[in-house]
Structure 1
Amino acid sequence: MLLYRVRRLLASLFIQANVTTILVAVAGYVFISFWLLKIAGEADIVAGENFFYWLVVTASTVGYGDLSPESSEGKIVVAAWVIPVGLSLFAMVVTRIGFAISEFVHRGKKGLRMTKHIDHTVIIGWNGTRTLRLIELLLSKTNGSAAEIVLCVEADIENPMPGKIDFVRVESFSHGEGMQRAGLADAARIIIDNPLDDVTLTTALFCDKLSPNSHKTAYFQDENVGELLRSHCPNIECIPSVAVEMLAKSSLDPGSARLHRQLLDSTYGMNQYSIEYRGEKPLPVEGLFDHFKRDLSATLIAVRRKGMVKIDVNPGLADLITEGDMLYYISAKRLDEKSCFDIKSNEEGVGTCLPS
């Protein structure tokens, strides 16, 4: 009974102890065991090449039997100290390691762990199935991107897609210490999608300050709020709700809603993608259009000039594409940079032009 109470007390203290205390306790046990066995005259056991091996197999009750105490004093030391105390320490160390692993996994599910990614995508906000669908689209293989995704929420939920994304839960989207766990400063893309536009606005302003070099997009139900953000942060791409426009378009041109949905859905069929031209020599739209269609089974549909907000849909064949321009095309999958711009032209001064 006394030994049972002592073990319970030791277990309670051990679970609450820090790593330093645990190491001190284990070191004390090893030293006392060595000292008692040496006094008992167990020379074979305390030999440098035997002691730690014997102590581990004895304390863990494996007991191979190749080494054992021979003197009466040695047997008493083993029975009264080495086995009961060692077994308790061994069990508690294993338990503590199990607790540590469980806590690590639990913190990850609860979103309390620091993420360590570079050039990843951060999604800020939780909208249930809408957010899950967004993640599904970002993870689609046709996008050709293997960037990690970190979901950052205020809601009291656990990671909805463990093993596929990382998860961070914060008290506020403008709380610096909490948001740092999502790795905003090192993110390549930040998507802000909250049910409340005012939260989206303040979150976007905070992200623009903390992560100025990332590409940021924010969804607004009220387009006026989006315009307000754009006036302060022109580099943030504001996505307005197009429900009314789509309703009108579909009534005049039946099937428009399904067409636009398919172009945006990267999980099947032809989709819309973009790519930036980084070559030094200008390329003709006519040559690019023909190259995309004939060689890549894709269709060039629009161009956004460097530094411009307006997009030129259906550009003229005589137009030239220069460094920094963004091309938009329809294809079954995202195309790599080399295949997009590896074209040949018979026009003087324009040849095969690959990004430098």
Structure 2
Amino acid sequence: MLLYKVRRLLASLFIRASGTTVLIATVLYVLGCYFLLSYAGETEIVAPENFVYWLVVTASTVGYGDFSPSTPLGKLAVSIWVIPLGLSLFAMIITRVGFGISEFVQRGKKGLRNMKHENHTVIIGWNGARTLRLIELLLSKTNGDASDIVLCVEADIENPMPHRIDFVRVESFSHAEGIQRASLDKAARIIIDNPLDDVTLTTALFCDKLSPNSHKTAYFQDENVGELLRAHCPNIECIPSVAVELLAKSSLDPGSARLHRQLLDSTYGMTQYSVVYQGAEPLLVGALFDHFKHDLAATLIGVRRAGEQKIAINPALNENVAAGDTVYYIAAERLPEKRCFDVKVADREGLGECLTN
């Protein structure tokens, strides 16, 4: 009965012991070993180059045998102090390290850790297979984007793609302290996709306040809700459901749905990308079109002027692309910005003369 109580007391002290307590106990143990063995005359063991090595080997029960106490008092000190206390401390430290690693991993799986990312992508919302597909598309190599991805959800789930994305679980998307664990204010891109449009609307407004400089995209099943958000936050790109439009288009032009899916799918076939022109001199659309097709094996399909929402699909060849305009193109993979606008001067002038004549 007494032994059982002692075991319970030691187990309780072990569980409740803080890191500081363990550190103090370790220091006292090491000092006690040193002074006891010095007093016993174990000069070889307490030598600076041998003591720490011998103590670790002895306390961990490895016991190589290359150093051992030779005096009766030294043997007694090792028997009643070094080995019994060393075993206890060694087991305590190893166990606490194991608990710490396990807790760190579990907190990551459950989304309880604070993220320390910058210029990353945050996905807010959980839609099961659709969200997993979205992540796969973002992780696709052809996208040319190596930024980290943080999935932020309200659902009671664990990280669905450990070792590939980071994960944050919050009580509410409008709770600043919780959602900031995803480093929202330092994100480069925020994607908001919730099953309920009203949650998407309030989350988008909240994100626009916390992260005004990031590019935000929100998906809405009801286009009217998206128009309401766009009226208050024109910088947020609202994506409506196009299922009905694709249904009508495919009935008139068979294969249209497959074409649109392939253009959007970065893991298969020719896909669509965009790039912003930052040059000082305007470029002719015709020169760009020829450069994309002949030099880059790509096709220019549209241009969006700086500050405008509407995209000019199939623009005229004699139009110009100015600084800040966005060019949309089809290619096998995302192209570097420098290559996209590396148009030769001779090609610009020659095409300009042809268009003028």
How many correspondences in the alignment?
Answer: 351
Contact 1:120 1:148 in 2 (8 A): yes
Query: In the alignment, is the contact (CA less than 8 A) between 2:45 and 2:67 conserved in 1?
Result: yes
Q: Which residue of 2 aligns with 1:213?
A: 213
Q: Verify the 8 A CA contact 1:189 1:215 in the aligned structure 2.
A: yes
What is the alpha-carbon distance in structure 1 between the residues aligned to residue 41 and residue 349 of structure 2?
97
Give the Å deviation of 1:35.
Answer: 2.6
Q: Distance in 2 between matches of 1:67 and 1:14?
A: 31
Q: Is the 8 A contact 2:33 2:81 kept in 1?
A: yes
The CA RMSD over aligned residues, in Å, is 1.9
Give the secondary structure class of the aligned counterpart of 2:45: helix
Aligned to 1:234: 234
Q: Provide the C-alpha distance between the structure 2 equivalents of 1:185 and 1:223, rounded to a whole number of angstroms.
A: 27
Tell me the CA shift for residue 88 of structure 1: 1.0
Q: Is the 8 A contact 1:42 1:71 kept in 2?
A: yes
Is 1:282–1:350's contact at 8 Å kept on the other side of the alignment?
Answer: no
Q: How many angstroms apart in 2 are the aligned matches of 1:77 and 1:11?
A: 25
Task: Kindly state the Cα deviation for residue 6 of structure 1 after the two structures are TM-superposed.
Answer: 4.7
Aligned twin of 2:262 = 262
Whole-Å separation in 1 of the counterparts to 2:35 and 2:252:
93
Where do residues 139-288 of structure 1 align in structure 2 (5 Å cutoff)? Answer: 139-288=139-288
Describe the shift of the 1:103–1:207 C-alpha distance in structure 2 as closer, same or farther (beyond 3 A). Answer: same
The answer to whether the 8 A contact 1:7-1:88 is kept is no
**1:54 CA drift (Å):** 1.8
Residue 63 of structure 1: how far off its partner (Å)? 1.4
TM-score (norm 2): 0.93
**Residues 1-356 of structure 1 aligned to structure 2 (within 5 Å):** 6=6, 9-346=9-346
In structure 2, the CA distance between the partners of 1:329 and 1:348, relative to structure 1 (3 Å rule), is: closer
Name the CA shift for 1:284/1:48 in 2 (closer, same or farther; >3 Å): same
In structure 2, distance between residues paired with 1:59 and 1:11: 20
Do the aligned partners of residues 309 and 291 (structure 1) sit closer, same or farther apart at CA in structure 2, a change above 3 Å counting?
A: same
Cα distance in 2, alignment partners of residues 333 and 48 from structure 1: 62
Distance 1:65 1:328 in 2: 73
Secondary structure in structure 2 of the residue aligned to 1:104: helix
Higher alpha-carbon deviation: 40-49 or 291-300: 40-49
- Please give the alpha-carbon distance, in whole angstroms, between the structure 2 residues aligned to 1:50 and 1:290: 75
Measure how far apart 1:61 and its partner are.
1.0
| Counterpart in the other structure of 1:354 | none
Summarize the Cα distance change of 1:301–1:348 in structure 2 as closer, same or farther, 3 Å threshold. Answer: closer
Gaps of 5+ in 2: 353-357
Task: Find the aligned partners of 2:16 and 2:336 in 1 and give their Cα distance.
Answer: 55
Structure 1: which amino acid aligns with 2:28?
Answer: G
Which whole-Å CA distance do the structure 2 matches of 1:131 and 1:71 have between them?
A: 70
Q: Retained in 1: the 8 A contact 2:110–2:168?
A: yes
What is the letter of the counterpart of residue 14 of structure 2? F
Q: Distance in 2 between matches of 1:76 and 1:270?
A: 79
1:48 alignment partner AA:
P
Please list the CA deviations of residues 94-147 of structure 1 after superposition, one character each: whole Å capped at 9, or x if unmatched. Answer: 111111111111111111111121111100000000000000111111111111
Asked if the contact 2:286/2:351 (under 8 Å) is kept, the reply is no
Secondary structure of the equivalent of 1:157? Answer: coil
- The one-letter code of the counterpart of 1:79 is S
Displacement of 1:16 after TM fit?
2.6
After superposition, what is the alpha-carbon deviation per residue over 1:9-66, rounded to whole angstroms, capped at 9, x for unaligned?
A: 4343223322111101111111222233233333333333332222111111111222
How far apart are the structure 2 equivalents of 1:38 and 1:293? 83
Show structure 1 runs of 4+ deviating over 6 A: 1-5
Residue 46 of structure 1 aligns to a residue in which SS? Answer: coil
- Is residue 15–residue 92 contact of structure 1 (8 Å, CA) maintained in 2? no
Distance 1:348 1:274 in 2: 25
Q: Deviations over 1:219-266 (max 9, x none)?
A: 011111111111111100000111111111111221111111111111
Q: Secondary structure of the equivalent of 1:173?
A: coil
AA in 2 matched with 1:339? R
For residues 79 and 45 of structure 1, the distance between their equivalents in structure 2, rounded to whole angstroms, comes to: 15
CA deviation after TM superposition for structure 1 residue 350, in Å: 10
- The question of whether the paired residues in 1 share the 8 Å contact of 2:291 and 2:343 is answered with yes
- Alignment-mate amino acid for residue 215 of structure 2: H
- In 2: Cα distance, 1:338 partner to 1:44 partner: 69
CA distance in 1: counterparts of 2:5 and 2:70, whole angstroms: 31
